Chains A and B, each alone.
Chain A
Amino acid sequence: MTETGELLRNLLMTAWLLPLAGFVVEIFFGFGLFSKNPRHSKGAAWCAVGCIGTGFVCSLIALLVWVNKTGGHDTYEADKGVEKGWMSVIADHNHGLHPHGDGEHAEHSEHEDGDKDHAAGGEQGHEAEGDTDSHDDKDAHAKPHNEEASIEGGEWQLASVTAEESEEHSETEDSRSAAEFPTAFSGRLYTLGEFGSLIVSLDYYIDSLTIVMFAMVTLIATCIHLFAIGYMSDELTDDYVDHFAHTSDGKHVHRPGRFYRFFAFLSLFCFSMLGLVLAGNIFQVFVFWELVGICSFLLIGFYTERKSASDAANKAFIMNRVGDFGFLIGLMVLWTYFGTFNFADINDEGQVTGGLFSMISRSTEGEDLGNVRVDEDGAVLITSPEGEVLQDADGNNRTIPYALLVVAGLGVFGGCIGKSAQFPLQTWLPDAMEGPTPVSALVHSATMVAAGVYLTGRFYPMFTAEVLLTIAYIGGITLFVAATIAIVATDIKKVLAYSTISQLGYMMLGLGVFGWAAGLLHLITHAFFKSLMFLCSGSVIHGCHHEQEMPKMGGLLKKMPITAICMLIGVLAIAGCPLFLGLHFSGYHSKDAIVASALAFSEKNPGHFLLFALPLITAGITSFYMFRLWFMTFWGKPRDQHVYDHAHESPWIMCVPLLILAPFAWLCAYGGDQGDLYVMLTKDAPAHIENGVTAVGDGVVLPEIQEMYNQHEAAGLWALTSAGIGFVLAFALYGMNLVNLDEMKKNLGAAHGFLANKWHFDDLYDGLFMRPAHKVAAFCAWVDRTIFDTTLHFLARLMVIIAQWDRIFDEKVVDGFVNLIASATGDFGERLRVFQTGRVRQYVMFIVVGVVILFAVVFSTFPG
C-alpha cells in the first residue's frame, strides 16, 4: 500500500466515520447537552453540519490528491489486449501517443462560505476560459486540440487531467507524469470474524468512482443539512402541532419537537451511505445497504403520528426487502462459487490484486460466451488476476455454471431494483415523499436511491449480457412509466419523485446498454440537479406554509425569486438544455451520453429498438412535466390568493444551499465526455466495456465504446428535438394557457385517470398480493379459530380435569405420606424428649441399663 493509498484511506475513513460519531453524540447527548433549553437548541444540527462538512473537506482533499496523482497518465489504452478487470494498470506509456496528454487542469474555487471547493471541469484551453469558477492562472501549455479529429481517428482517448492545487506543485508535473500509480486501492480495515473459509470483514475499495461519490454525497449532504436547519426550525418547540395528524377525537396531534433526532438520523444516514460507497466487499455493501434502508425508514416515518407517513415508511421498508431477497440469493451464489466477497484482495506486497471482479475472465479469444471465458461444458472459468484458471483441491478447473452467474447478477440487480425504485418495485418512492423535504432531497433523490445505480455500476464486471439486457429493459420501462405519471401529478414533491424514478430508469438503461460511464455520469449530475430541485420545492413548501399542491400556487416568481431561479436551473438541467460556449447544462451531457449509448445499442441490435425509442420519447416528456411544474408554480397568475399573499422567500440558511448547488447542477458535467468528471469516472471503468461484446448465437451485441461516441452528435440532436417539443408544449399549455386544461382533462379522462392512478400499480399490487394475502389470512384465521382453537380448548379443558385429579392425588397421597412421616417423626421426638431429662446421673443410669439389656439380649441370643 502506497503512501497515497494510506492517505486516501485515512481521509475517506474520517469522512465516513465522522457522521457516525456525530450520530452518537446527537442521539445520546443531542437532547439537553447543547443547551439549557433542549427543545429550542440547534446544537445537534450544527454538530451534524460540522461532521458532514468536515467529511466534505476530507473528501475534497482526497479528490484533489487523486486527481493530482492520476493526472499524469492514462489507464486506458485502446491497443491494449485483455485488461484485467478493474485492476491497476501501470501503463508505461508514451506521451507521444496521446495528443492531449497535457490537458487542462481541474480547478477549484473558494466560495463565500469557505467550506467547499469545486473541481469544476477545466477542458481545453478555449473552453476553460468560460469557467467562471476558476480563478487560478491558466498554464499556457494547453495544446490546440481538435476534438472531432481525435474521435474519428480512433483515438477516443480520454483527456488526461492534471491537477494542481497551487502553483508550487507545477514543477513536479513532469516527474509525476511518469510515476507509476495504481488506480484502485483496497485493503482490510477490520476483520469482524472468520467462519471457516468465510471471512467477514470491513474492507475499503477506493477508486475514482468511490472518490467522486464521496465528494458528491458529502457536498450535497452538507448543503441539505444547512437547508434542514431552516426547514426543520418549526420543530424547535416544546409543543409542536402536527396539522396532518389527528387524534381519535379529531384534534391535531401535539407533541414535543424532535429537531435533534432528525439530525441524528441524517448523520446516521450519511455514515451508512458513505460506508456503502467505501465498502470493499459485497457483504459489507449489503450491510450498509440495509443500514441506509433503516435510515430511510426512520426518516420517511419521521412524522410518525401521521398514518400516511408510517404506512409509507413500512411500504418503503417492505418493498426494499423484496429486492434484498434477490440480493441475498446473489450473495449466496457468489459465495458458493467464488469463496470470497471481496471486490479486490491485497497480496503480500500490498498491491491490489484480483478479487471478485477479476475472477470472471473477460477475453476476446477462444470459446467465448458473451465475452466470458468458458470451458468445454459451457461453465464460466474462474481465474486469478493474471488470467490463469484457478483450480480446486482436486486439480479441476474452478467454474461457475453460466446460468448461476446470470442468477447471481439478477439477484444483485434485484436489490438494486428495490433500492432504486425500479419497475416493478417503484411504488414506494412517491409515498416516501411523506418524509420531510430535506430527506426527500438527500435520501430519496440524490444518494440512497442512487445507491442501486451505484452498485449496478460497481458490480458491472459480474453482469453477463443477459443481465445487462434485463437491466436495460427494466430501466426503459421504469423511465417511461414514471415520466407519464409525472405529467398528471399535482403535488410538487410527487412530480419530483416520479421524475426521480424516471431518471433512475435512465441511469439503469444507460448501464444496461453498456453505457457504463453514461449511466454513472447521469447519477452524479442527477444527484446535483434533483437535490437542488427538491430543496427548491422545500423552499416553496416552506414559503407557502406547507402547501404542496401546485394548482394552488402560481406566480411565485415575484415572491421568491431566488428559489424560482434555482429551480429554473434545475429544470433546465434535467431537461437537457444546451447553451452557448459549451456551457451546457449538466443534464444535456449526461442524457446525451445515455441516449447515444442507447442509439448505438439499438443500431447493433435492431430488435431492441424500443430501448432507444423509450428514452428519446421520455426526454420530451421529462422536459414537458418539468416545465409544467415550473410554470404552474412560479409563472402566471396566483391561483390561490390566500397562499400567494402569505408566501415569502425563505431565510438565508435555506437559500445559501440553493445557491451553492445551482452552479453544480448547471456545470458539474462541464465538458461532457471530454470533461473532467467524465474522464475521472471512466478512468477506472471495467476493462471489458471498451471493446463491446460480440453476439453469441442470437444474443445481443454490446457496442464498443467508440461506437457510442460516434453517436453523440446524432443522439444529442434527437434528444434536443424531443426536449424542445416538450418545452413548447409545456409553455403552450401552462405558460400561455392556450388550452383550457379542465376541458382537456375531461376529454382525455380515461388516459388522465389511468395516469393519475399511477398506471394502477398500487391497485395491481393490491389485487395481486394484498387481497389474496388477506383472503389467505382470513382462511388461516378461520382454520385457526375453528380447528386449532377447538382442539386446543379441548386439550386445555382435558388438562384442567387431569390437573384437578392430579391435585387430589397430590394432596391426599403424596402430601399425606410426607405429612405422615413428618408427624410420626414429631411424635417420636415428643416421646423421646421425656428421656432428655438434663440430668447427667440419669444418663449414666440409662447407659448402664442399656448395656445390661444389650448383654442380656446377646447372651439370650447366643447361649453357651
Chain B
Amino acid sequence: MSALFLFFAIASCLGAVLVVISQSVVRMAFWLVVSLGSVAALFFLADADFVGAAQLLIYVGGTLVLLVFGVMLTASGPYMKIETSPGETAIAGVVGSLFLFMVISSTPSGSAQLTLDEDGHTVVKRTGDWEAIHDAVKPATSTPDDGSFDDKSDGNTLRPIGWALLGLRPDRVDITRETEAGKKKEAADPASGPTAAPGYLLPFEIASVHLLVVLIGAAYLARAKRRSDEAS
C-alpha cells in the first residue's frame, strides 16, 4: 500500500515539476496528464473512489482534451515555444522554493492535537501529532460493524456519497443520540430520518446549471470575430 502511494505521489510531484520545466505546450499537457492521473490514483488510495473516477473522467478525459484543443487552436506553428527569460525562471524557482518551504513548515506536524471536550466539540491542542489526532478522532469513513448499511463486503460503493448528496450522513455519529444512549456508539440509521446536516443536492444542482451557463458563455466568447488588429 505504501509503496503504491509512494509511487503515485512521486509520479504526481514529478509530473507537476515537469509541467513547470517543459517549454513545449504539448509536453506540458502530457506531463499534466501524468500528474493528474497520479493524483486520481492517490484518491483511490484514500478510499475516495468516486472522486478519483470523477478526476479521471473530467480532468484527464475532459479538461485536458479541452486544453489540447486550445493548444491546437492557438498554435501559430507546430511545436510552438514561447521562451521564458532565464532570470524570471530563476526568480520563480527561488520564490517557489520559499513558498514550498513555507507551506510544508506550516503543516502542524506533531505539534497539534485534536481532542473532544466534554461537550463533544473538537479542541485543538498543539501537543500531539497527526497520528495522535488520528487516534483521538474516530476515522471519518469508518462504518458500523453490524453491516446493516454499507456492508464492507460490497466494496467501497457510491452509496455513502449518494446519501451525503441527499443529506443523509451515515458517516456521522449522531452525537445527541450517542449521549442519550449512554455513550454507546450507534450508527446513524438512515431509516431514522435525516440528521440535521444539510445535503449537497442544491449545490449539486447549482453546479450543473453553472456548467450549462459556462458552456453557453464559453461558446459566445469563443465565436469568431473580426478584430481591429486583423485590420491593421
Contact = CB atoms under 8 A, between A and B. Distances in A.
A–B interface present (Cβ within 8 A): yes
Interface in B73-114: 88, 91-92, 95-96, 98-99, 102, 105-106, 111
A859 B111 CA distance: 14
Interface in A828-860: 841, 845, 848-849, 851-852, 855-856, 859
Contact of B106 (A841, A848, A849, A859): A859
A838 to B, nearest CB: 16
A841 B126 CA distance: 38
Interface in A500-532: none
A845 B102 CA distance: 15
A864 B99 CA distance: 19
B91 A855 contact: no
A846 to B, nearest CB: 10
A852 B106 contact: no
B96 to A, nearest CB: 8
Nearest to B103: A855
B111 to A, nearest CB: 8
Contact of A845 (B91, B106, B111, B126): B91
B25 to A, nearest CB: 16
Contacts of B98: 852
Contacts of B99: 848, 851-852
A864 B126 contact: yes
B102 A856 contact: yes
A844 to B, nearest CB: 9
Contacts of B126: 864
Interface in B90-147: 91-92, 95-96, 98-99, 102, 105-106, 111, 126
Contacts of A856: 102
Contacts of A859: 105-106
Contacts of A848: 95-96, 99
A849 B95 contact: yes
Q: Interface residues of A: mostly helix, strand, loop or mixed?
A: helix
A841 to B, nearest CB: 8
A852 B111 CA distance: 21
Contacts of A852: 95, 98-99, 102
A841 B88 CA distance: 10
A324 B95 CA distance: 100
Contacts of B91: 845
B102 A855 contact: yes
A77 B88 CA distance: 129
A451 to B, nearest CB: 89
Nearest to A844: B92
A853 to B, nearest CB: 10
Nearest to A854: B102
Interface in A226-270: none
Nearest to B88: A841
Nearest to A856: B102
Nearest to A842: B88
A855 B106 contact: yes
B13 to A, nearest CB: 19
A856 B102 CA distance: 8
A294 to B, nearest CB: 77
B104 to A, nearest CB: 11
Nearest to A855: B102
A175 to B, nearest CB: 98
A852 to B, nearest CB: 5
A398 B95 CA distance: 105
Interface centre among B88, B96, B102, B105, by most chain A C-beta atoms within 10 angstroms, is: B102
A859 B106 CA distance: 8
Contacts of A864: 111, 126
B58 to A, nearest CB: 25
B74 to A, nearest CB: 16
A721 to B, nearest CB: 121
Contacts of B105: 859
B135 to A, nearest CB: 22
B78 to A, nearest CB: 25
A306 to B, nearest CB: 83
Contacts of A849: 95
A864 B127 CA distance: 11
Contacts of A841: 88
Contacts of B95: 845, 848-849, 852
B173 to A, nearest CB: 32
A849 B92 CA distance: 10
Contacts of B102: 851-852, 855-856
A845 B111 CA distance: 31
Interface in B36-88: 88
Contacts of A855: 102, 106
B28 to A, nearest CB: 15
A359 B88 CA distance: 111
A845 B85 CA distance: 15
A68 B46 CA distance: 123
A848 B102 CA distance: 11
A193 B187 CA distance: 87
A845 to B, nearest CB: 6
A859 B101 CA distance: 13
Contacts of B96: 848
Contacts of A851: 99, 102
B119 to A, nearest CB: 26
A864 B105 CA distance: 11
Contacts of A845: 91-92, 95
A16 to B, nearest CB: 80
A179 B148 CA distance: 118
Interface string A474-488: 000000000000000
B51 to A, nearest CB: 27
A621 to B, nearest CB: 110
Nearest to A841: B88
A841 B95 CA distance: 13
Nearest to B106: A855
A856 to B, nearest CB: 7
A859 B98 CA distance: 14
A849 B91 CA distance: 11
A843 to B, nearest CB: 13
A852 B95 CA distance: 9
A617 B42 CA distance: 142
A859 to B, nearest CB: 7
Contacts of B111: 864
A856 B103 CA distance: 10
Nearest to B92: A845
A849 B95 CA distance: 7
Nearest to B101: A852
Nearest to B91: A845
A851 B98 CA distance: 11
B124 to A, nearest CB: 13
A698 to B, nearest CB: 110
A512 to B, nearest CB: 103
B175 to A, nearest CB: 31
A841 B91 CA distance: 12
A849 to B, nearest CB: 6
Interface string A15-37: 00000000000000000000000
A152 to B, nearest CB: 120
B91 to A, nearest CB: 7
Contacts of B92: 845
A855 B91 CA distance: 19
A74 B169 CA distance: 113
A406 B112 CA distance: 108
A845 B89 CA distance: 11
A851 B101 CA distance: 12
Interface string A692-730: 000000000000000000000000000000000000000
6 contacts: A841-B88, A848-B99, A851-B102, A852-B99, A852-B102, A855-B102
**9 nearest A-B residue pairs (beta carbon):** A855-B102, A852-B98, A852-B102, A848-B95, A852-B99, A848-B99, A849-B95, A845-B95, A855-B106
Given A845-B91, A852-B102, 17 more contacts: A841-B88, A845-B92, A845-B95, A848-B95, A848-B96, A848-B99, A849-B95, A851-B99, A851-B102, A852-B95, A852-B98, A852-B99, A855-B102, A855-B106, A859-B105, A859-B106, A864-B111
